[in-house]
Amino acid sequence: MFVYFITMTEEKKDTEQTIKEAAKKIFLVNGLKGARMQAIADEAGINRAMLHYYFRTKDKLFEVIFSDAMTEMNQRMGAIITSDLPILKKIEHFVHGYSESAISNPEFDLFIINEFRQNPTYFDEMMKTSNAGTVIKGFASEIEKAIDKKEIVGNPNQIFLSIIALCIFPFAAKTMVRTMLGHSEKQYTKLLEERKDFLMQFIIKAITP
Partner DNA sequence: AATATGTTTAACAATTTTGTTGATGCAAAT
Partner DNA sequence: ATTTGCATCAACAAAATTGTTAAACATATT
The closest of 175, 167, 105 to 139, measured between CA atoms, is 167
Residue 95-134 contact track with a second copy, rule CB under 8 A, x = bound: ---------------x-xxx-xxx-x--xx--x-------
Q: Which of 17, 71, 75, 179 binds a second copy (CB under 8 A)?
A: 179
Q: Of 35 and 73, which has the nearer Cβ to DNA?
A: 35
Helix (H) or strand (E) holding 40: helix 37-44
Q: Of 21 and 31, which has the nearer Cβ to a second copy?
A: 31
Least separation in angstroms between CB 205 and a second copy: 5
Residue 78, C-beta contacts closer than 8 angstroms, at least 6 positions apart: 131, 132, 135
Burial profile 120-153: b = 16 or more Cβ within 10 angstroms, e = fewer:
eeebeebeeebbbbbbbeebeebbeebbeeeebe
Is residue 182 a contact point for a second copy (CB under 8 A)? yes
Half-sphere exposure of 52 (CA within 13 A, CB side): 7
Q: Which of 38, 175, 184, 193 binds a second copy (CB under 8 A)?
A: 175
Greatest CA separation for the chain = 71
Least separation in angstroms between CB 176 and a second copy: 4
Q: How far is residue 122's CA from residue 184's CA, in Å, rounded to a whole number?
A: 37
Residue 47, binding choice from a second copy, DNA, none, Cβ under 5 to 8 Å by partner class: DNA
Residues of this chain that interact with a second copy (CB under 8 A) are 29-31, 33-34, 36, 110, 112-114, 116-118, 120, 123-124, 127, 136-137, 140, 154-155, 157-158, 160-162, 164-166, 168-170, 172-177, 179-182, 191, 194-195, 198-199, 201-203, 205-207
